[in-house]
Amino acid sequence: MSRTYYIAGNWKMHKTRAEAAELAKALVSQLKGGKHRYLVAPSFTLIETVAPIVKGSNIRLGAQNMACEEQGAHTGEVSVFQLKDLGVQTVILGHSERRHNYKEDDALINKKLKLALKHGLEVILCIGELLEEREAGKAEQVCETQLVKGLEGVSAAELANIVIAYEPVWAIGTGKTATPEDADAIHAFVRKLIGKLYGADAAEKIIIQYGGSVKPDNAAQLMAKENIDGALVGGAALKPDTFVPIALFG
């Protein structure tokens, strides 16, 4: 079975509304007719600007995070209802920056994930190890814990709305990239784990993206690997001339 490649751009905390509109328009124009799945995830303040530009195109609208509660006294948070009201279709959860810089743990990420699924959002669940964890031989163990705890209470039917993104933390924004072989080994491990949890068919179908210094010059090599089904792109997603070649590879 051939899985569809899924290329997502995480804009992180970049762009004004005018800059976001310019980037979104360029991507809609240049990715028209592209044969893969595409997504952009702007900052919360930019979603309303980007939404009408990507609407009706082949680019999904994503958010970079979401509150774990539906509404209420949660100062500074953004709810699933507010995201859906803006046309958001997908939410990125468990990104390493959320885990390590903002101390989000597996239980919180799982709560957010189940809430997103309840309200019909697709979830990109990020997992990945720190450099010291990899050097200690614990990469698989860390990824297994994050995956199993992240998916706790998720049914096989709900899994169809989940994408996994493997992002070795040591390769994010550092210019270091896991070799295609290193990345594929963890992707294969994750796929096998999904098989244990949900069965062979689910393991075959699930899309596992790679994230961590993906650039035009390494994207095709990474995605040529059997278990790598796309990319979660950070820095290179901020300009059409670096994101479009990744998105249109192959």
Active-site annotation, residues = 95, 167
Give the list of residues 6+ apart from residue 220 with CB closer than 8 angstroms, or none. Answer: 249, 250
CB atoms within 10 A of CB 63: 24
Strands 122-127 and 162-166: parallel
Report residue 18: phi and psi, to 5°. Answer: -65, -45
What whole-number distance in Å separates Cα of residue 178 and Cα of residue 198? 27
User: Token match 């697709």: residue?
Assistant: 122
Lookup: tokens for 177:
């990239």
Residue type for 6, please? Y
Q: 96 with 116: CB under 8 angstroms? A: no
What whole-number distance in Å separates Cα of residue 24 and Cα of residue 52? 10
Residue type for 166, please? Y
What is the DSSP track for 113-145? HHHHHHTT-EEEEEE---HHHHHTT-HHHHHHH
Residues present in the chain in total: 250
Distance (Å) of CA 17 to CA 22, 24, 42, 44, 49: 9, 10, 10, 11, 6
